Amino acid sequence: MRNDMGTRGLVFGIILLFVGACFTPIISGNVMNQSERANDIYTKPKSKGIIYVDDDSECPGDGSWNWPYCKIQYAIDNASAGDEIHVCNGTYQSKGPVCRIDKSLTIYAGGDDLHAGDTQYPPIINASFYNNTILVTANNVTITGFNITGSGKENGTSAEGNLFYLYTGVRFAEGITNCALSHNIIQHNGAGVRAYSYTTISNNTIRDNLDDGIKTYGAIIKDNYIAHNGRKEQVNPPSKRNQGDGIEIYSKSGVSIINNTIIGNQMDGIWDDTGDRHTITGNVIKNNGQCGINFKEARGCNIKNNIIMSNTKYGIFMDISTSNTIANNTLSNNPIDIWFNASSSNSIENNMISNNTNMGIYLAGSSNNEIINNCIWYNDLGIVDIKSSNNYIYHNDFKENNISIELILSNMDFIVFNNIVTTSKMKIRAVLSIALAPMNWWGDWRGPWFNMIRIGFVIVFPWLPIPVPIQCQSYIKNSHPK
């Protein structure tokens, strides 16, 4: 009986030990989970690779969800290459660069569900008119969604000979590449942006900066609104570089300017000196203080599918430039739409050139250019060719210009298969010039005789008895851009 009782006790003890072993970790685990949940209310660890910034946070912060850094620079200093920095709405301000970005980072406006960015009121980065607002000294940096303002100016003379050296809203240091600047408002700085090769500048509003909107040494510039940049007051000594263009190019080759709106800048919409193979396409360029596009010594550039209108001096000015193509653009209400000075072997094709108070196309000392399939309507002077030679004017539609073609001291231009039609206005005027102009439709089966003044030698026979079929885009006479 004792043995039986002992055996039962041993079995019962073993069962108790087994049950206890099973329940202990469950109870312990429940206690641990409750503790973790309680702690999570107060401390959410920083996600690996993501750092938070909030100007309302108590300084300095640790970059976590619940204790963000109070300054963007603290986040940059404590980040590793490849990290993301999420910045809450607010104002981030200091004297000098507010942000010195010296490693490959992605910096976004707005955090997440807790620290959400507001696209209507983006975080403000303000340099208080001292130094650059943002200075980037590392490759592979992305900056998105900020209001960047307040870069200053330093008294003295810069390397370019300006009266003031103007600091920049966002400056990428020389040689920095593969960066992206997007969806920012960049305003009220010395200059807006200064960027080098393989940097993409897209979907930004760049306006009301004291100097140029963008200075580029090789960037891709697309889908931006670039407006009202440049000083309005005169400086001493006066200098073009002191007054501000929409985009100023210093790259020898390969800048792409695509689908931007470039309006009301103090000097030129786009300016370049000695550049090759730039692409200017799909832009609206109007109401700028000098030229829509001003290129010197340009080679192999493509200017296509732009609307260029109501600029103060010229739509497109090219000086000492060769092998460029100007095609499929709408040019209107500029005093001179296209001016080639000492330029050769360029092509002007398929453009609408209209409603200018002075000249549609002006060739001065320029040779071997092709003017093909353009619609040249309602200008004072359609084409003016002075001291030029061997230009090829083919298959264009001239309509109601006061003078369709004027040749002065020009030699051996070839004018063929054009419609040159006016009502009681002059079709062609040649002064001490030699030209071949057969096979054109002059608006009359009798040819150009009744509206033509010649003091030179122009062969117009034979002429066409019917118009040349030329397709022109829709156009309303005397229409003005809004």
Examine the fold and report which residue of 297, 317, 351 is the final residue of a domain before the chain moves on.
351
Question: In this model, does residue 34 exceed pLDDT 60?
Answer: no
On whether residue 143 sits in a domain, the answer given is yes
Beta bridge pairs of residue 143: 107, 181
pLDDT at position 131: 84
pLDDT at position 14: 40
**Residue 123: band (very low, low, confident or very high) from pLDDT cuts 50, 70, 90:** very high
On whether residue 15 sits in a domain, the answer given is no
pLDDT at position 145: 95
Q: Which two tokens stand for residue 372?
A: 């093909």
Both 382 and 419 in a single domain?
A: yes
Both 342 and 389 in a single domain?
A: no
pLDDT digits (tens, 9 = 90+) for 441-480: 998 888 887 667 677 788 999 999 999 998 886 544 444 3
* Entry pTM: 0.84
Polymer length of the chain: 482
Both 146 and 294 in a single domain?
A: yes
Both 166 and 219 in a single domain?
A: yes
pLDDT at position 151: 87
Q: Which two tokens stand for residue 303?
A: 């200017």
On whether residue 30 sits in a domain, the answer given is no
On whether residue 169 sits in a domain, the answer given is yes
Both 173 and 303 in a single domain?
A: yes
Question: In this model, does residue 41 exceed pLDDT 70?
Answer: no
Report which of 475, 471, 481 is spatially closest to residue 353, judged by C-alpha positions. 475
The DSSP-derived string for 244-255 is --SEEE--SB--
Mean pLDDT along residues 151-159: 52
Examine the fold and report which residue of 317, 336, 351 is the final residue of a domain before the chain moves on.
351
pLDDT at position 475: 47
pLDDT at position 135: 94
Q: Which two tokens stand for residue 112?
A: 């997440």
pLDDT at position 446: 82
On whether residue 21 sits in a domain, the answer given is no
On whether residue 32 sits in a domain, the answer given is no
Mean pLDDT along residues 307-323: 97
pLDDT at position 311: 97
CATH number at residue 179: 2.160.20.10
Print the domain residue range for 404. Answer: 352-473
pLDDT at position 435: 93
Mean pLDDT along residues 98-118: 76
Both 357 and 337 in a single domain?
A: no
pLDDT at position 233: 53
On whether residue 269 sits in a domain, the answer given is yes
Q: How far is CA 232 from CA 156, 225, 239, 242, 246, in A?
A: 20, 20, 12, 10, 14
**Residue 130: band (very low, low, confident or very high) from pLDDT cuts 50, 70, 90:** confident
Both 343 and 363 in a single domain?
A: no
Neighbours of 233 (CB within 10 A): 6
Q: Provide the domain count of the chain.
A: 2
CB–CB of 301/324 below 8 Å? Answer: yes
Both 241 and 324 in a single domain?
A: yes
Both 252 and 336 in a single domain?
A: yes
Report which of 191, 194, 202, 195 is spatially closest to residue 178, judged by C-alpha positions. 195
Question: In this model, does residue 27 exceed pLDDT 50?
Answer: no
pLDDT digits (tens, 9 = 90+) for 211-236: 999 999 889 999 999 999 997 654 44
Q: Which of 300-309, 385-394, 456-465 shows the lowest mean pLDDT across its residues?
A: 456-465
Question: In this model, does residue 263 exceed pLDDT 60?
Answer: yes
**Residue 159: band (very low, low, confident or very high) from pLDDT cuts 50, 70, 90:** very low
pLDDT at position 482: 33
The DSSP-derived string for 69-113 is BSSHHHHHHH--TT-EEEE-SSEEE-SS-SEEE-S--EEEE--SS
Both 331 and 433 in a single domain?
A: no
Examine the fold and report which residue of 351, 378, 406 is the final residue of a domain before the chain moves on.
351
On whether residue 28 sits in a domain, the answer given is no
pLDDT at position 25: 41
Both 336 and 214 in a single domain?
A: yes
pLDDT digits (tens, 9 = 90+) for 184-212: 999 999 899 999 878 999 999 999 998 99
Both 442 and 331 in a single domain?
A: no
| Mean pLDDT score of the chain | 83
